[in-house]
Structure 1
Amino acid sequence: MDWGATDRKLLVTTHNFYQNGTGALLYLNTAQNGTAAAGSNRFPLSPNTTYTFQFKAFASSNVVGANVYLLTRTYGSTNDYDIVHGLFTNLVTSPSHIDQYTVTFTTGANDNEGYIRVDNIGSNNSASSGLFFTELKLELGGVATPYVYGGQDSTISQMSDDINLRVTKDGLIDQINIQAGNTLISSSGQLTLAADTIYFDTKKPVIIPSANITGTLNGKTIHDGNVINDVNNTAKFYPTTISSDGHIYTTGFNSADAMQTDLSTGSLTTKYRATNTTSSNNQYEAYDATIQADQIVLLAGHTNGKDMSFSQSLTGGNQDGYVLISPLNGITLH
């Protein structure tokens, strides 16, 4: 907390009193006759409900004492807290071993959310004083259940609208957190999904910013980038699209025209479509160029209205001229 003793420190450390020096402890330190305090994140509470809080602690012999508060407020309040629940006040912990402390209490009618605050009240001799604490757990009901903790620092916590599972080892943290409308799966190493079939919801897009995928990827359509942000992109084209029928499309728009290239088996087609009309009867300049195995086709013409979906053909009445280059028939000009 950003108040109290000016030399206050909150550290993560180990001590032989706890798990033979292998488990992590929080450590509040000050050499002043002033409070060093640490607070948790704020979490939801159920009003008029019985809760049990437990934690383990010990301290150096010169610590004046310790306080543990549940500081609550009603939803909508902008205060840091409105109500103080003194779970432990002026608690003097052992300097020679670690103890567990447990308390059961009932929330009030306006206790909608809150946070836990732990205080090292200060030093009694102006020398460095330390309050060590760990395994803080707040749970529903009047019985303290065992804290889930192992050599790998595994924790499971559950609130009314939040479930969190976490494992920590050698500085690596893996976590699953489930909240209403939001689920997080976080791995600092490898995440493996092992099943005969893995389904993704097809009604909503799956967004993967970056991935290296080995093996076979089966899908209907693959888009690269975001939908092109242009007023003429009424068909919602992406910069690059790979379709399941073997076509690769690249599309671009600017202030004067639109271009699309279609690469498919044995053919490369580029289409140009003007975005400004070239005549009084709503005709727009258009060109197609196609390279195939046996000919090159250059088409010039117009579209009737804007063809921002590249769907109008430059044949028949839409054609103003063409060039065909064929190794069998030579060059045809029109």
Structure 2
Amino acid sequence: MVQLKMNTSTPATMETMSYITTMVLTTLENGLPVSETPSVFTKEQERLRGYMVLLRLLIAIFAVLTNITVIWLQIKYNLFRKTTYFFGLFVNISDLAFSACVIVECFCHFQCGRSPIMLYAALVTIAQHSLVCMCGVAIDRYLALCAIPLTYKQVVNLKKYMAAIFISLTVLVCLNFLLFKYLVTSYIAVVIKWVPCIITGSLLPVASIYFAIGTSLSKSYNHLNLPTQIKIRRIRRTRAIMLTFYSVLFTNIITYMPTCVVAVFLWSQPTLIKPYEDLFVNVLISNVTYNFSMLNYVINPVIYVKLILIKNITCPFCGEKPKEISLTRDAELYTGAQIVK
């Protein structure tokens, strides 16, 4: 058993946005740079740890490419101009930003072994804002089918949605800046381990919102007081969108849950006295679960393409027309049709 002294002045390391090497560097004396601290791992262990970070880097790069492709398709086919898909675009943008930050995190590891504490704040903020945008998708469908189906086109517009996105992002930036500025720096060894729990915990209210809105939407389908053609198209579009983001939400929970479980396990373990061999096992497991959570940012854009984009874009291989009628045509039908009593 080797006794290590806790030093909370050491910056957070960069192995995961939660805890990975924090257990090592926050217990080394004097807060020395990584290059000057005594190594607690063998060369083989360090090499394996580097491979895990390299794998995470490759996953993040692939996630960036897939999200860029999905965003480009939405811009190319003007889906971002439609309120129905507006929040979905910003979910992809948030996933892109998160993946880009992970790439920065990996390069920081290879260069100096650590990253600024505010990079963790940025990662948490981006992940939470992606969830806020997912809530926006569900709320938009609730407005369209339950709250204001007859006046939806007159009340809802892109400027209002953009304002909601900007305000929510500003609030999250302020809250996480204060959290990481004044709390994490004082109790870094504890709070850093809870970062994945913060993200996973943020999924719970989102899941509750989707359950409540999904229940309301299913009850409204048979009582929607709209022209028949508009009613059919709006219900079909809503079902596709809700299925898409139910799938995305389920993927988020599945990929983040192992990271959260490991974080809680490590949080419950003593940190002042820890054998080095157990420490490396924890580091390795933490890397594996963090890499697994990164798969979420690759799978989400694939789900979006499969369930949403493929119905709204021209097939590049067969030249087929989009399956969905544009919202402009939908508005024309709404203007000329009689309300079904």
For the criterion TM > 0.5, the same-fold answer is no
TM-score category, normalised to shorter length: under 0.3
Ranked by relative contact order (alpha carbons within 8 Å, sequence separation 6 or more), the top structure is 2
The answer to which structure has the higher helix fraction is 2
The answer to which structure has the higher strand fraction is 1
Higher Cα radius of gyration: 1
Instruction: Return the TM-score normalized by structure 2.
Output: 0.20
